Amino acid sequence: MLQKTPIWFMRQAGRYLPEYKEIRKKEKNFLDLCFSPELAAKISLQPIVRFNFDFIILFCDILVIPHALNQKVQFKPNHGPLLNPISSIHDLDYRNIRANLQKLSPVFETVSILRQQKKEKKLIGFCGGPFTVMNYMIEGGSSKEHKKIKAFIKREAKEAINLIRIITEMSIEYLKLQIDYGVDYVKIFESWAGLLEAKEYYKFIIEPNKEISESIRKYSRKTKIIHFPRGSKSEYMNFIQDVYCDVIAIDNDFPEKLIDVAKEKKITIQGNLNPIDLVRGGQNLENKTKEILKKFKENNHIFNLSHGVLPETPIDNVHKVKTIIDKNEIT
């Protein structure tokens, strides 16, 4: 009998769940919701109550870091995040990290509540990858072409390095406090890693993520570290060679040799069901789920998606995947 593969989904707590939608009707301001410990803890636990996933992920957002640095951050319904774009570190309040992090004290209170309620589940805290956070800070929100950030790191290279250092330092201290309050894992969401390659990838993706990992390992060896350099393609191999990972989260486009290297380095692979397949359901969903279980059966594996749960995802499809995982139906 094979051991059951553990499962959780990125964005498992949120917009596709009716119980979450009920809370959002009453609380319109998304950041206020992130900073309401009792509600944020309740939302974090909703997918555990409904699906009995193996991991709880803290309900929050990667853009609390720019908020703590005194950049204006808001979330517009049906649009996403909006930030007052910056052009320099001088647009920020960054000289007292301890004071900055006090603005995020409600997040740590949420972690504390979850630590007391998690029982046998593992609790995941997180931050955004430094380049990804910098991307939003420069672009002023979501972007399709990312022209501002690409121009910034080329034309304002020194300023870009200074900014990413500040974000990296803030992220490290933010994760350390999450650990102090009770998370078992930390995950670094480098969602826009795929925008860069070669020297830029090394400078803005590998170096800051490596610094985060090394700092967290020195601080707490018992805390597991998950990295998700989404969109890295062939760069995934350079990433896992240079950056310490307990877990590497992957999307749908990765080098097959990563499977063998991860096994050799004892890195757990997390992923990688396409969220679109989860929406569509049917026999295809069953087939894809079993294919993934089979592909990674020789590895340490956490079943997850290649990105976050989409808002239109039918709940029955999530139940279906969880049932297949529970039965461990590898053919």
Domain containing residue 193: 18-327
Burial state string for 173-197 with b = 16 or more CB within 10 A and e = fewer than 16? bbbbbbbebbbbbbbbbbbbbbbbe
Tell me, yes or no, whether 2 lies in a domain.
Answer: no
Does pLDDT of 188 surpass 60?
A: yes
Region 180-203: mean pLDDT is: 97
Does pLDDT of 281 surpass 60?
A: yes
Contact 205, 239 (CB under 8 A): yes
Q: Name the amino acid, one letter, at 286.
A: E
Mean residue pLDDT across the chain: 96
Does pLDDT of 151 surpass 90?
A: yes
Region 117-128: mean pLDDT is: 97
Does pLDDT of 313 surpass 80?
A: yes
Does pLDDT of 47 surpass 70?
A: yes
Does pLDDT of 117 surpass 60?
A: yes
Give how many domains the chain has, as a whole number. 1
Tell me, yes or no, whether 11 lies in a domain.
Answer: no
330 versus 278: which is more confidently predicted?
278
Does pLDDT of 142 surpass 50?
A: yes
Region 267-282: mean pLDDT is: 98
Does pLDDT of 331 surpass 90?
A: no
The greatest distance separating any two alpha carbons of the chain, rounded to the nearest whole angstrom, comes to 59
pLDDT at 304: 98
**Alpha-carbon span 222 to 220, nearest angstrom:** 5
pLDDT at 76: 86
* CATH number of the domain within which 173 lies: 3.20.20.210
Q: What DSSP designation does 57 have?
A: E
Flag whether the pTM goes above 0.75.
Answer: yes
Tell me, yes or no, whether 3 lies in a domain.
Answer: no
Tell me, yes or no, whether 12 lies in a domain.
Answer: no
Does pLDDT of 2 surpass 60?
A: no
Q: In percent, how much of the chain has pLDDT > 70?
A: 98
Does pLDDT of 56 surpass 70?
A: yes
**Alpha-carbon span 193 to 205, nearest angstrom:** 6
260-263: long-range pairs with CB below 8 Å, 24+? 261/237, 262/299, 263/298, 263/299, 263/300
